Structures are given as C-alpha cells and as structure tokens.
Amino acid sequence: MLAINEMPMARRKREVRRVRRTVTNGGLAGNIPNGTTDSIWFGWQTMEERNPSGGTGGTDTPLKQYIWGSYIDECLQLNLLAVAGPQQLAVGVYYPLQDTLYRTMALANSSGAVVGAYDTDAYGNTLIFTGPGPDNTWFTDDDTQSSYGANGIIYQGRALDAESALYYFRTRYYSPALGRFTNRNPWGYIQGRQNLYDFEKESPTRYVEPLSAAVAVAVDVLLGVTVLAVVTLAVARSRHVPIRIPGGAICGEPPDPCPGLRTAFAPAMAKYARAAVAAVKAEISFQNEAWVYEAQGTYAVHLDLVQAAQEGAAQAYLAALKAYQSLEEQGC
C-alpha cells in the first residue's frame, strides 16, 4: 500500500497521457510516413487521432476514431477518416479482431472481409501483413509483410509505434524485443514485484497490464466482460502465437511443411471475421438503441439477439483456434 506522502507524486506520474507524436526520417524502418499525430483522450482511452496540419491550408483534420468495449483495451471499431496504411485502406469503418488476450489477429471491413493480419508472440514481437499475397488467401506464407499498417492497435489492445517498434502502454513504453518496459514503474515496488521494469510479472499469457503501472490484471478476471466471453481461460492461455517467418511458415523454417492445414485455417479465420463483425455491429447497435427497446418493451428480445451473435462469434473463434492449434501440433 502506498504511503500518504507518496500519493501526490504517484498521481502525477500515472496521469501522464501522450497527446502528440511526431515521426521524422521514416523512423527506424526508414519507410514510416513522416508527420505529426495528436491524440484526443477520454479518460484513459484514445477516442480520436488528428493531423494538426493535414487539411487544406494546413488546417487540423481528423484521421481515426475508436469505439471501445467493456474492457479498457477492447477495441470494437476503428473508423478511418482518411486513407491509411501501405495498402491505402479506404475511408470507412473497420473491426480489429482480438483474441482473449486482446491481441489483434486481423482487421476486417464492414462486410467481414479480412483486410489486414498480424502475428505477435507472447511478448509482443509483431509482424504486420497488409495483403494476401499472390495466392489471394490470407494467413498463408506469401502474405505481404509491411513495417506499418492502417491499424496500430495490435498487442494487448495497445498502440504500436511503428517508427520505434515500441508499444505505448499509457504511462510507459514497452519493448517487445527486450520483453520489458523502457523505464521504471512509476508506482514503485508493488504486488511483491522486485523488478521495476518487468512486464506482467513475466507471465504475458496470464496477465495484462493496461496502465503499465499499478497492477497486472489476471486474464481470468477479464474474460467475463469480453465479446467472446464463452472462450475458456485454458484456450486463452494456450494461444502462444508464434511469430511468422517472412516468406515461410508461421513457425519453423521455410518451406511451409503443412500447406493443407494452413489452407484449412484461412477459411476458418474468414468465417470468424464475418461472425465477429456481425457481433460487434449488433452490440453497438443495441447500446445505441437500448432506450428505444426499453420503451417498446422489446429490450430482452434484442438483448437475446446480441448474445446469440456473440456466442456465434465465440464458436467461430474456437473453430479457428482449433485449426490453428492443428498447425502447432504438426510443427507448422
């Protein structure tokens, strides 16, 4: 427990929010678009990103807007207000498809079609794929890899700064390459933790740490509030997503030894994408119209429809996960 004389400093440190980010010289990769992005916050969540000089005559212009779910890093919807990413995604509404550790596996458009894919390992090393490659099938070994994408909400629902390969965890930056935060915990020694730089008690498949300070929260506590709430904790912990080797398999050395299993995984993910988008649309619509349904006496009926859509998405997720686990079991 923090001593009274520590509280003012602790509050000041944990209330730091990044409001502006500037990229120069293409970042570390050399090809990240230069420019400045301002973030508009509501509490601890980014609601909008803007270019302070991107409009006609150098005027301030909006770039992206976000809708968040029950959990602080459950990103339900990304609204692109300007063309974005190396694949030049059009203006419109998109849906990050997150697993039960809030890692984005894919980005889908409003029709449920996959338009981006992501691989992250347990500690957040990230690969971004912006095209399905020559075979025109996502999640195969010829997907087009990029150093950045239209969506930056990837590992545990946090924002990837592609120019530095660091994740922004609100009060601190996190380095996937090091598996630790880049600076000390502003709360000091808490929860029995003796390392001020450690990440989620060195158990990133069990914990999430949305504020990068204070406490690491066990995934067990969060599953009840996710869209995919019926997915078991055992499934959540089993998803140690291996990093995909460019030009080869998701894990192991190229060439890909299991093209048949990979071919089965791709349609399973496509089905999950459609089901997840339908579930999120149903949930957002329900939240917007709940007062109308209550006045009409149809609240319970519409709630059942939302829950049915959510369960359908969860079952599709489980089917995709089983297909993926078959890849792992075969050493693919």
Segment 187-193 mean pLDDT? 70
Question: Model confidence at 55, in pLDDT bands (50, 70, 90)?
Answer: low
Whether 113 and 242 map to the same domain: the answer is no
Whether 150 and 247 map to the same domain: the answer is no
pLDDT score recorded for residue 265: 81
Strand, coil or helix: 248: coil
Whether 162 and 35 map to the same domain: the answer is yes
Last residue of a domain, one of 168, 200, 224: 168
Question: Model confidence at 220, in pLDDT bands (50, 70, 90)?
Answer: very low
Of 43 and 238, the one with more pLDDT: 43
Q: Is 36 inside any structural domain?
A: yes
Dihedral sign (CA 138, 263, 256, 133):
negative
Last residue of a domain, one of 168, 188, 218: 168
Note whether 67 and 47 are within 8 A (CB).
no
pLDDT score recorded for residue 140: 81
Q: Is 277 inside any structural domain?
A: yes
Average pLDDT, the chain: 79
Note whether 311 and 319 are within 8 A (CB).
no
Label each residue of 280-326 as H, E or C: HHHHHHHHHHHHHHHHHCCHHHHHHHHHHHHHHHHHHHHHHHHHHHH
What's the CA gap between 69 and 100, in Å, rounded? 13
pLDDT score recorded for residue 13: 47
Nearest to 84 by CA among 93, 75, 72: 93
Poorest-pLDDT segment among 103-117, 230-244, 269-283: 230-244
Poorest-pLDDT segment among 18-32, 132-146, 221-235, 303-317: 221-235
Q: Is 196 inside any structural domain?
A: no
pLDDT tens, position by position, 166-182: 999 888 899 999 988 99
pLDDT score recorded for residue 254: 39
Number of structural domains, the chain? 2
Of 309 and 200, the one with more pLDDT: 309
pLDDT score recorded for residue 30: 94
Q: Is 87 inside any structural domain?
A: yes
Q: Is 262 inside any structural domain?
A: yes
Note whether 269 and 114 are within 8 A (CB).
yes
Q: Is 213 inside any structural domain?
A: no
Q: Is 29 inside any structural domain?
A: yes
Segment 124-146 mean pLDDT? 90
Domain enclosing residue 278, as ranges:
233-329
Q: Are strands 114-120 and 126-131 parallel, antiparallel or unpaired?
A: antiparallel
Poorest-pLDDT segment among 55-69, 101-115, 200-214: 200-214
What percent of the chain has pLDDT above 70? Answer: 74
Whether 158 and 281 map to the same domain: the answer is no
Is the pLDDT at 119 greater than 80? The verdict is yes
pLDDT score recorded for residue 221: 44
pTM for this predicted structure? 0.81
Question: Model confidence at 322, in pLDDT bands (50, 70, 90)?
Answer: confident
Note whether 150 and 80 are within 8 A (CB).
yes
The one-character DSSP state at 43 is T
pLDDT score recorded for residue 198: 81
What's the CA gap between 300 and 97, in Å, rounded? 27
Whether 140 and 266 map to the same domain: the answer is no
Whether 155 and 258 map to the same domain: the answer is no
Whether 66 and 146 map to the same domain: the answer is yes
What's the CA gap between 22 and 60, in Å, rounded? 15
Is the pLDDT at 40 greater than 70? The verdict is yes
Q: Is 205 inside any structural domain?
A: no
Segment 309-317 mean pLDDT? 90
Whether 151 and 254 map to the same domain: the answer is no
Q: Are strands 45-51 and 35-42 parallel, antiparallel or unpaired?
A: antiparallel
pLDDT score recorded for residue 218: 55
Whether 159 and 250 map to the same domain: the answer is no
What's the CA gap between 26 and 260, in Å, rounded? 39
DSSP for 235-279? HHHH---PPPPTTS-SSSSSSPS-HHHHHHHHHHHHHHHHHHHHH
Of 255 and 23, the one with more pLDDT: 23
Residues belonging to the chain: 332
Tokens of 130: 């912006």
Last residue of a domain, one of 137, 168, 199: 168
Is the pLDDT at 76 greater than 50? The verdict is yes
Question: Model confidence at 10, in pLDDT bands (50, 70, 90)?
Answer: very low
C-alpha angle 162-153-151 in degrees, rounded to nearest 5:
70
Segment 327-332 mean pLDDT? 69
Whether 247 and 161 map to the same domain: the answer is no
What's the CA gap between 102 and 28, in Å, rounded? 26
Whether 143 and 244 map to the same domain: the answer is no
Poorest-pLDDT segment among 48-52, 66-70, 210-214, 313-317: 210-214
Give the list of residues 6+ apart from residue 232 with CB closer than 8 angstroms, or none: 223
